[in-house]
Chain A
Amino acid sequence: MAFLTASPADPRGAYMALTHRRRLYSGLLLVVFVLMFIGTFQVAESRNAGGFWNGLSQIFDFPASAVREFVERIDRFPANLVRFFPSLIETVNIAAASTLFGALMGLVLALLSTRGLALWPRMIPVFRRSMDMLRALPEIVIALVLIFIMGGGPVPAMIAIALHTAGALGKLFSEVAENADLKPVEGLASVGANWTQRMWFGVLPQVAPNFISYAMLRFEINIRASAILGFVGAGGIGFDLRNTMTWGQGRFDQAVAIFILLFLTIVVVDQISSHYRNKLAPAEH
């Protein structure tokens, strides 16, 4: 822009000045970024119990000793796999159920907060803000509070992840729904369809592939989340992992078995979901 308007008599000079200024800004930005990075690194270093360089040399100590123990007791490996498999199923169930509920909630919230589709257009900001709130709340907050009320177990984790999922998917869904073609909706309205019918027959068929693809991606994320929440007491394989890690020496063979189970699950789910996502929406990457 500035190139077009500034001093037409000397376009070359104006262009070079502009380039230099831009380069200066980029350079300054880079310097600020590098300084921030070094500064925050040093703060983190000073507030950590063990130092970075010191820890770097010990980084393989724990994996090495765990693997050594695992190899020594390799005969117990099948038994460990069988033993922890039910917890793995629980973790996957938490992720699946919370994705299901979260996606349904997100769907409703998204439709209610999309311009042109909303049932109550005046309420759009309210639903938008509530999705923002749900997204901003980390799962652990809701999970810990619910564990206090309901006791440990899968349900608090499921509710916590479902609420967060509703916020996260709601935003993505609403972005997709904004681009939906409104003609089918208008057609349905002209024959007297109510809001639910308009959404069900007019909007959902258009957006379903994208929605399902997003929900699958979320399922991958939620498996990780549900493993982490288990670690703070919400059941599933994370809970077992914490027990094997904190009960002192001699159980790292079990920890390694859990690592392997979790790793395989995540990889398998990633593969399956990316396969189906590519089928549903080839343009998405």
Chain B
Amino acid sequence: MALGDISPADASPGDRKAAGEALFRRKRWLSFGIPGLILAYLVYVFFAFDVPGLVDRARMDNARILVADSYSHKVHVTLDTRSGGFAYSIEGTAKGRFPDHLVPDWIERGDGRVAVDLGRGQSAVVAGDRVILTLPDGRVIDARSSRSGVEARLPDLSEFTVQQSDARLVVFLDGARLTVTRTRIDLFRYFLGWEMFWFDLDSPFYGKSTGELWHLATGAEPVRRGATNLEAMGQDFWSNRVWRHGDVAWALVETMIMAFIGTFGAAIIALPLAFLAARNFTPLGPLRFAVRRVFDFVRGVDGLIWTIVLARAFGPGPMTGALAILLTDTGSFGKMFSEALENVDRKQIEGVQSTGAHPLQRYRFGVIPQVMPIFLSQVLYYFESNTRSATIIGAIVGGGIGLFLTQAIQTQQDWEQVAYYIILIVIMVMIMDSLSGWLRARLIRGDPSGR
């Protein structure tokens, strides 16, 4: 491009040299100046975002809990020191509380005293308001919980993370954790896997091995009256109170519905309006201008703002999310469709016209076949990307899998469910991605751009 400036043959060698040097200067500036500018910007952002302060604020113990919880579960042994009552539960929730006959055998229950095997040679005895925890090498953690505070005698625990204050003691052990506060003593033991994923504790199928389940499903006595065991298993899985498989499946469907109604509704509305915004179909200038500004407006007002405004009128739920997507995309589609219409080949329309077709037929056979492949591929492309947007919008309007995800994250302990939802979302988006790619390839054979 720039070389064009020095090409004239009649330019003197001196001119050419000067022009060449100018070009080199420009290139040098570009190759040093632009990286320099970027670097300066990054330095500015580094301080504007307070990255140095972030290092202090980051909670790496949170990160550890998150990672550990996402692939494992913990069983709590809890002593309420006020009432003296023991509780045994999965993840410390009421839904995961073991009934008497299901308490694991590594918890030994005596009279007012409970011995817990914490694995890897670690064991603990809880009695009264006191816990004595023995490590494999014989070191002993001795802690007492009382109204006035937590008293603890600790050996050297430098290899473990210990958080200690007057009111609270937390020791992160190997695959286990001890927490003592003024009112309770908590022992956690970690196990691999997602507990109660198939059946919750209420189900008679809880804790059965695959072989036992197979036996039950294929021929044994029905566990529940009026249903075969296979049906009962299906019901128990679907209505699992901890993982809520039924609700989660509905949430995924809601998210896809939001994307579906939003995208295709927008396409249906944008199609006629695009004709009004295309120069070759609407000779009326002011009308064209007005329609185009409407497109710009709904596109420019962000999906976030539409979501907020619509949530006030329609209340929380998938319809609100669908309408927010619909409004934003009407603007995008209107703009893209009208551009495609302006590039339509007139010859085809004239050809159809020459056979005596009336205007409607001219549109149907002269215009639509030309633009339909482009429209469809754009719509399908947006459909795929809107599946992702619907997750985010769902988190704001309170619908679909986005809501489940934010709720699970806000409790700050159900990280295994967060991991489960993330996996489901990724699978859903990937399926939509390949579905829209497949449809694009099937419906639009010969579309060269592929987009």
How many angstroms from the CA of A151 to the CA of B44 in the assembled complex? 21
- Contacts A36-B260, A100-B38, A150-B54; A136 near B48 (Cβ below 8 A): no
A138 at the interface (CB under 8 A from B): yes
- Contacts A228-B392, A232-B406; A151 near B57 (Cβ below 8 A): yes
How many angstroms from the CA of A48 to the CA of B323 in the assembled complex? 12
B312 — which chain A residues lie within 8 A by C-beta?
Answer: 58, 61-62
Residue on A nearest B328 in the bound complex, by CB: A224
| Distance of A163 from chain B, by nearest CB (Å) | 13
The contact of B62 among A58, A149, A231, by CB within 8 Å, is A149
How many angstroms from the CA of A47 to the CA of B89 in the assembled complex? 34
In B216-268, the 8 Å CB interface with A consists of 250, 253-254, 257-258, 260-261, 264-265
In B298-327, the 8 Å CB interface with A consists of 300-305, 308-310, 312-320, 322
The contact of A262 among B62, B305, B317, B322, by CB within 8 Å, is B305
A35 at the interface (CB under 8 A from B): no
A148 at the interface (CB under 8 A from B): yes
Residue on B nearest A132 in the bound complex, by CB: B430
The contact of B258 among A44, A52, A58, A139, by CB within 8 Å, is A44
Bitwise interface map of A from 84 to 125 toward B, beta carbon under 8 Å scored 1, else 0: 000000100100110010000000000000000000000000
Q: Is the CB of B254 within 8 A of A44?
A: yes
A158 at the interface (CB under 8 A from B): yes
A195 at the interface (CB under 8 A from B): no
How many angstroms from the CA of A49 to the CA of B391 in the assembled complex? 18
B389 — which chain A residues lie within 8 A by C-beta?
Answer: 138
B59 — which chain A residues lie within 8 A by C-beta?
Answer: 149-151
| Distance of A38 from chain B, by nearest CB (Å) | 10
| Distance of B278 from chain A, by nearest CB (Å) | 14
How many angstroms from the CA of A158 to the CA of B265 in the assembled complex? 32
A4 — which chain B residues lie within 8 A by C-beta?
Answer: none
The contact of B302 among A59, A135, A227, by CB within 8 Å, is A227
Q: Is the CB of A62 within 8 A of B313?
A: yes
Q: Is the CB of B317 within 8 A of A44?
A: yes
The contact of B430 among A136, A139, A151, by CB within 8 Å, is A136
B396 at the interface (CB under 8 A from A): yes
The contact of B402 among A48, A133, A140, A227, by CB within 8 Å, is A140
The contact of B49 among A138, A144, A153, A241, by CB within 8 Å, is A153
Q: Is the CB of B66 within 8 A of A148?
A: yes
A138 — which chain B residues lie within 8 A by C-beta?
Answer: 388-389, 391-392, 402, 425, 429
How many angstroms from the CA of A262 to the CA of B406 in the assembled complex? 25
B399 at the interface (CB under 8 A from A): yes
Q: Is the CB of B409 within 8 A of A228?
A: no
B160 at the interface (CB under 8 A from A): no
Bitwise interface map of A from 225 to 262 toward B, beta carbon under 8 Å scored 1, else 0: 00110011000001001000100000000000001001
B303 — which chain A residues lie within 8 A by C-beta?
Answer: 224, 228
B174 at the interface (CB under 8 A from A): no
Q: Is the CB of A140 within 8 A of B301?
A: no
The contact of B45 among A36, A41, A61, A97, by CB within 8 Å, is A97
Bitwise interface map of A from 141 to 182 toward B, beta carbon under 8 Å scored 1, else 0: 100110011110111001000000000000000000000000
Residue on A nearest B45 in the bound complex, by CB: A97
Q: Which of A9-17, A74-82, A263-271 contacts B (4 or more CB under 8 A)?
A: A263-271
Residue on A nearest B61 in the bound complex, by CB: A149
Q: How many A-B residue pairs have CB under 8 A?
A: 181
Chain B interfacial residues counted at CB < 8 A: 65
B50 — which chain A residues lie within 8 A by C-beta?
Answer: 153
A278 at the interface (CB under 8 A from B): no
Q: Is the CB of B405 within 8 A of A144?
A: yes
How many angstroms from the CA of A41 to the CA of B261 in the assembled complex? 7
Q: Is the CB of A96 within 8 A of B392?
A: no
B22 at the interface (CB under 8 A from A): no
Q: Is the CB of A149 within 8 A of B315?
A: no
Q: Is the CB of A232 within 8 A of B396?
A: yes
Q: Is the CB of A136 within 8 A of B433?
A: yes
How many angstroms from the CA of A57 to the CA of B58 in the assembled complex? 47
| Distance of B335 from chain A, by nearest CB (Å) | 10
Q: Is the CB of A93 within 8 A of B258?
A: no
A191 at the interface (CB under 8 A from B): no
B42 at the interface (CB under 8 A from A): yes
| Distance of B337 from chain A, by nearest CB (Å) | 12
How many angstroms from the CA of A137 to the CA of B310 in the assembled complex? 26
How many angstroms from the CA of A132 to the CA of B430 in the assembled complex? 8
Bitwise interface map of B from 31 to 46 toward A, beta carbon under 8 Å scored 1, else 0: 0000000100110010
Residue on A nearest B53 in the bound complex, by CB: A153
How many angstroms from the CA of A44 to the CA of B261 in the assembled complex? 9
In B260-311, the 8 Å CB interface with A consists of 260-261, 264-265, 296, 300-305, 308-310
B426 at the interface (CB under 8 A from A): yes
How many angstroms from the CA of A93 to the CA of B41 in the assembled complex? 10
A137 — which chain B residues lie within 8 A by C-beta?
Answer: 422, 425-426, 429
How many angstroms from the CA of A36 to the CA of B264 in the assembled complex? 11
How many angstroms from the CA of A133 to the CA of B388 in the assembled complex? 12
| Distance of B304 from chain A, by nearest CB (Å) | 5
A276 at the interface (CB under 8 A from B): no
Which of A36, A136, A227 is most buried by chain B, counting CB atoms within 10 A of its CB? Answer: A136
Q: Is the CB of A149 within 8 A of B63?
A: yes
- Contacts A44-B322, A47-B317, A145-B418; A37 near B45 (Cβ below 8 A): no
Q: Is the CB of B62 within 8 A of A136?
A: no
Interface positions of A (Cβ within 8 A of B): 33, 36-37, 40-41, 43-45, 47-52, 55-56, 58-59, 61-63, 90, 93, 96-97, 100, 132-133, 135-141, 144-145, 148-151, 153-155, 158, 224, 227-228, 231-232, 238, 241, 245, 259, 262-263, 266-267, 270, 285
Interface positions of B (Cβ within 8 A of A): 38, 41-42, 45, 48-51, 54, 57-60, 62-63, 66, 250, 253-254, 257-258, 260-261, 264-265, 296, 300-305, 308-310, 312-320, 322, 339, 388-389, 391-392, 395-396, 399, 402, 405-406, 409, 412, 418, 422, 425-426, 429-430, 433
- Please give 15 more A-B residue pairs, beta carbons under 8 A apart, in addition to A144-B406, A144-B409, A149-B60: A44-B257, A55-B313, A59-B313, A133-B426, A136-B429, A136-B430, A137-B429, A141-B391, A145-B66, A149-B59, A149-B62, A153-B49, A155-B54, A231-B304, A262-B302
Identify 27 residue pairs between A and B in the complex whose beta-carbon atoms are under 8 Å apart, listed by A's number: A40-B261, A43-B253, A43-B254, A44-B254, A44-B319, A45-B319, A48-B316, A50-B313, A58-B312, A63-B309, A140-B392, A140-B405, A141-B425, A149-B59, A150-B54, A151-B57, A151-B58, A153-B50, A154-B49, A155-B54, A158-B49, A224-B302, A259-B305, A262-B304, A262-B305, A266-B302, A270-B300
